[in-house]
Amino acid sequence: MKLEDRVIRSIARRKGVVILRSELSPLGSPAQLSRVLRKLVAARTLVRVSHGVYAKTRMNRFAGRLMPAATFETIAAETFEKLGIDIGHGKLAMEYNSGASTQVPMQPVVTTGRRRISRKIQVGTRMMTYERAGVRRRKDTR
């Protein structure tokens, strides 16, 4: 059985939408795995979300083409969960959910606490934005 077939079978058996490259590493060498993942992204079987993170696709009934199998927010939440990063709703989303604001936040923003994250999570044109809570600013001591 070719590596491509084993990777496709492994992806189909997984319950979640997000697949980490490290989960597929036992199937073959890094070079072979890169080649197969690149081929699956080109065939639109997978969508690249971030470095080493991919999402499954499915046929959209309305558009008639392959789209990510879940919403961007679901993909991002599952990615953070698999990477072990604790996140929370952004400030604007928390205000909207508590009823303090009637404006619906359009940009996906998450708070990471005091943790710095530089990972870029993007599906199509939607990109995750981070805000840090409780960051202390240095006083200018001139």
The beta-carbon contacts of 33-37 under 8 Å, at least 24 apart in sequence, are 33/3, 33/7, 36/3, 36/4, 36/7, 37/7
Confidence category of residue 35, pLDDT binned at 50, 70, 90? very high
pLDDT, tens digit, for every residue of 79-102?
Answer: 999 999 888 888 888 888 899 988
Q: Give the residue extent of every domain in the chain.
A: 3-131
Tokens 């046929």 identify what position? 59
Name the packing angle between helices 3-13 and 30-42 (round to 10°).
Answer: 70
pTM over 0.85: no
Average pLDDT of the chain is: 89
In 26-41, which positions are buried (b, 16+ CB within 10 angstroms) versus exposed (e)?
eebeeeebeebbeebe
Predicted confidence (pLDDT) at residue 107 exceeds the cutoff of 70: yes
